Amino acid sequence: MAETYETIGGYVYCAGNPVKFVDPNGEKITDPKNRIAVYINKQGKIIFTKYATKDIKRIVNVLMLTKEGMKSLKRAINSKIRVKMKISSETKITKVEGGNSYTYGETVQGNFNSKDNYGRRVSKNGTFGITESSITIYEGTLKEDAKTENPKHKGLTIDQAIGAVAGHEIVHGTNRKEINKDLRYELKNKGGTRPNKETAPNKIENKIIEQSRELNNEIK
């Protein structure tokens, strides 16, 4: 069994005319129309607005179940990068040599608007960045994987698995150091995936999985 966490998005960088990086006004999770859906109030509480979709509420609520999930959630809300989240019922499993490849989540680093340079920027010091990211979690894949003999998120409910994948994808969507390395690799190699790009996200996901299992053991 293989697993993939793809990062999708066009990349356009004009070497002779790089787009100046402008730090966007983030510190929130937004709905598909960029309206504030989740924020942290002055008392430090997570607040939903009327624009919070069912998917956003579901993801946020499961992230709050674990210590590491809460850290990931706060990173997403406090990030200067606008973060969008949704859950898809789609199952993304492909045949590969030796078994199947499971895609649990994907993150678009930037957007698909060519007039906005695909939501990608270059700072004065040459650092690559994005203004927004869109996270999709494939519940269909998680449900199918749960039926296998040794699922990735063994011992977790589907909602808990969604939280673990969300923590993974938040790294792809908000960690500036990782994003810079991802985009720099894409530019240098004309696309493709950085060999070790899943290392940091997997570390966060595994912590959430471990803490979720501990929580379930306490309930028993």
SS (H, E, C) 35-98: CEEEEECCCCCEEECCCCCHHHHHHHHHHCCCHHHHHHHHHHHHCCCEEEEEEECCCCEEEECC
Residue 80 lies in a domain: yes
In a domain, 87, yes or no: yes
* 6 found inside a domain: no
pLDDT classification of 1: cutoffs 50, 70, 90: very low
Task: Examine residue 21 and state whether it is found in any structural domain, yes or no.
Answer: no
Lowest mean pLDDT among 2-11, 13-22, 41-50, 87-96: 13-22
pLDDT in tens, 147-164: 999 999 999 999 999 999
In a domain, 11, yes or no: no
Element (H or E) spanning 203, and its range?
helix 199-219
Query: Is residue 7's pLDDT more than 60?
Result: no
Q: Please check whether residue 56 lies inside any domain of the structure.
A: yes
Q: What is the pLDDT of residues 45-79, one digit of tens each?
A: 999 999 999 999 999 999 999 999 999 999 999 99
Q: Is 12 a member of any domain?
A: no
Domain extent for 208:
29-219
| Joined tokens for residue 14 | 């004009």
Provide the number of structural domains found in the chain: 1
Residue 17 lies in a domain: no
Which residue bears the tokens 């499993």? 93
**Whether pLDDT at 178 is above 90:** yes
The mean pLDDT value for 106-135 works out to 94
- Rounded Cα distance between 12 and 128, Å, is 12
Distances (CA, A) of 115 to 12, 45, 129, 133, 173: 11, 36, 16, 16, 21
